């Protein structure tokens, strides 16, 4: 994927000055949104029973779905900046 928009850092610890450059540590907004989407789908009892259409395709499909939702969140949030 080229020019992946990660949304920048989420909960980053910022050190340094503008002259020194900033050191940012932490997960990206993209990863944070994907983790929240994955948490939501895995907390669904239908999915946890391994009978839902997402689980039938395997855990790779859950991860893919989670990042798709995260990308949509970032695209939508850009409208409000």
| pLDDT tens, position by position, 36-71 | 998 888 887 666 555 555 555 567 778 888 899 999
- The answer to whether 24 touches 64, Cβ cutoff 8 Å, is no
- The answer to whether 32 touches 8, Cβ cutoff 8 Å, is no
Q: What tokens appear for 77 in the block? A: 């949030």
Give the tens place of pLDDT for each residue, 1-13. Answer: 445 678 877 776 6
CA distances from 65 to 1, 31, 60, 68, 74 (A): 16, 13, 9, 5, 14
Q: pLDDT category, 35, cuts 50, 70, 90? A: very high
Size (the chain), residues: 81
């Amino acid at each position: 994927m080229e020019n992946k928009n990660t949304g920048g850092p989420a909960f980053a610890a910022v050190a340094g000055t503008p002259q020194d450059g900033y050191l940012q540590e932490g997960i990206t907004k993209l990863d944070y949104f994907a983790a929240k989407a994955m948490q939501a789908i895995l907390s669904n009892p239908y999915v946890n029973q391994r009978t839902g259409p997402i689980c039938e395709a395997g855990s790779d499909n859950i991860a893919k779905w989670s990042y798709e939702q995260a990308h949509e969140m970032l695209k939508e949030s850009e409208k409000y900046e």
